[in-house]
């Protein structure tokens, strides 16, 4: 199995492990559960230590604090790296202990970026990049956030090397999720990422790609250069 697919499968299987057990699927009292007594060849003997599953990249969660943001002079001066992880297991233990977008305060920006890439236009890796954005109504972005994280850290994108990270901007009426990429002018790579993101989310919505250069110059007047 290709490494990306294997990691994706591991992430997904751990996600399924979080789902609640359906009581109707439990074995009837008095019946023998074949699954429980027949040893599966892939099953780890209890004596073997559990090996963590390394991700292709290390990733860092960043948090931009809204109360400090209101007072700050320069944008991003309240932005802080929170945690870095590099295994499937560490991802889940962090994810299960951090607030999901629905629970975050209005004004917060929460990021998951490849380690050593700062989520700023000024970062040298981001400087010539851009972003694809999906908007959700307030409180509705949790699934998009999780599936995007899983697709990204599980290396499900053909142009995964192009990806810097993902951000959720929590605002009064909406939550915006954006994937930041490195080379905005590489149209084929951006289109592929946009299309694969929509497939991953099973989304029919048209989404746009904005160059950071345009956002810097035109702010909210920046127009999408690509759409899928
Ligand atoms: P935003 O928070 O991405 O947009 O950028 P939003 O949510 O529409 O605006 P908000 O006012 O509700 O937060 C808002 C502004 O932050 C931009 O217009 C820039 O002035 C600044 N800004 C955003 N980013 C991502 C950067 C950045 O990477 N570098 C710098 N220097 N400023 C940024």
Q: What is the pLDDT of residues 144-160, one digit of tens each?
A: 999 999 999 999 999 99
Total domains in the fold of the chain: 1
Residue 25 belongs to a domain = no
> Which residue owns the Cα nearest ligand 1 atom 31?
75
Ligand 1 pocket, 171 CB below 6 A?
yes
Ligand 1 pocket, 69 CB below 6 A?
no
> Which residue owns the Cα nearest ligand 1 atom 23?
75
Ligand 1 pocket, 169 CB below 6 A?
yes
Q: Residue with structure tokens 């990021």?
A: 111
Ligand 1 pocket, 76 CB below 6 A?
yes
pTM of the shown model:
0.85
What is the secondary structure of 155-209 as a DSSP string? T-STTGGGEEEEEEEE-SSEEEEEEEES-TT-HHHHHHHHHHHHHHHT--S--EE
How many CB atoms within 10 Å of residue 226? 17
> Which residue owns the Cα nearest ligand 1 atom 5?
219
Ligand 1 pocket, 219 CB below 6 A?
yes
> Which residue owns the Cα nearest ligand 1 atom 8?
220
pLDDT for 152 equals: 98
Residue 17 belongs to a domain = no
Residue 31 belongs to a domain = no
Position in ligand 1 atom list of the atom nearest CA 123: 28
Type and span of the H or E element at 149: helix 142-153
Angle (deg, nearest 10), helices 88-95 and 3-18: 40
Q: What is the CATH number of the domain that holds 104?
A: 3.30.760.10
Domain that holds residue 197: 3-12+37-227
Residue 18 belongs to a domain = no
Residue 20 belongs to a domain = no
Compute the distance from residue 193 Cα to the ligand 1 centre, in Å: 23
Compute the distance from residue 67 Cα to the ligand 1 centre, in Å: 15
Beta-sheet pairing, 79-87 with 54-64: antiparallel
pLDDT for 20 equals: 39
Residue of 68, 75, 138 with the most ligand 1 atoms within 8 Å of its CB, for mutation: 75
Residue 28 belongs to a domain = no
Type and span of the H or E element at 109: strand 109-114
Compute the distance from residue 76 Cα to the ligand 1 centre, in Å: 9
Residue 111 belongs to a domain = yes
How many CB atoms within 10 Å of residue 2? 8
Q: pLDDT tens digits, residue range 32-78?
A: 333 333 344 456 667 777 889 999 999 999 999 767 556 656 888 88
Residue 171 belongs to a domain = yes
pLDDT for 215 equals: 97
Q: Residue with structure tokens 């290709």?
A: 2
170 forms beta bridges with 175
Non-local (6+) Cβ contacts of 106 within 8 A are 66, 170, 171, 172
Q: CA–CA separation, 161 vs 168, rounded Å?
A: 20
pLDDT for 44 equals: 64
Position in ligand 1 atom list of the atom nearest CA 119: 28
pLDDT for 75 equals: 86
Each residue's pLDDT expressed in tens, for the chain with a length of 228 residues: 455 555 566 676 666 555 433 433 433 433 433 333 334 445 666 777 788 999 999 999 999 976 755 665 688 888 999 999 999 999 999 999 999 999 999 999 999 999 999 999 999 999 999 999 999 999 999 999 999 999 999 999 999 999 999 999 999 999 999 999 999 999 999 999 999 999 999 999 999 999 999 999 999 899 999 999
């Amino acid at each position: 199995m290709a490494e990306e697919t294997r990691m994706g499968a591991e992430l997904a299987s751990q996600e399924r492990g979080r789902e609640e057990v359906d009581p109707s699927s439990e074995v009837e009292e008095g019946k023998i559960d074949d699954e429980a007594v027949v040893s599966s060849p892939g099953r780890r003997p209890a004596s073997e230590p559990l090996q963590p599953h390394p991700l292709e990249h290390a990733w860092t969660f960043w948090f931009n604090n809204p109360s400090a943001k209101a007072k700050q002079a320069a944008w991003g001066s309240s932005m802080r790296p929170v945690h870095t992880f590099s295994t499937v297991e560490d991802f889940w233990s962090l994810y299960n202990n951090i607030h999901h977008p629905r629970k975050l305060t209005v004004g917060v920006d929460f990021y998951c970026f490849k380690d050593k890439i700062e989520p700023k236009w000024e970062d040298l890796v981001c400087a010539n990049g851009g972003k694809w954005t999906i908007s959700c109504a307030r409180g509705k972005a949790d699934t998009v956030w999780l599936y995007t994280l899983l697709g990204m850290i599980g290396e499900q994108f053909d142009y995964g090397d192009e990806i810097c990270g993902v951000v959720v901007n929590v605002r009064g009426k909406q939550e915006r999720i954006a994937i930041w990429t490195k080379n905005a002018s590489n149209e084929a790579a951006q289109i592929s990422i946009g299309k694969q993101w929509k497939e991953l989310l099973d989304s029919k919505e048209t989404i746009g790609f904005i160059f950071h250069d345009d956002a810097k110059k035109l702010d909210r007047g920046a127009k999408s250069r690509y759409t899928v």
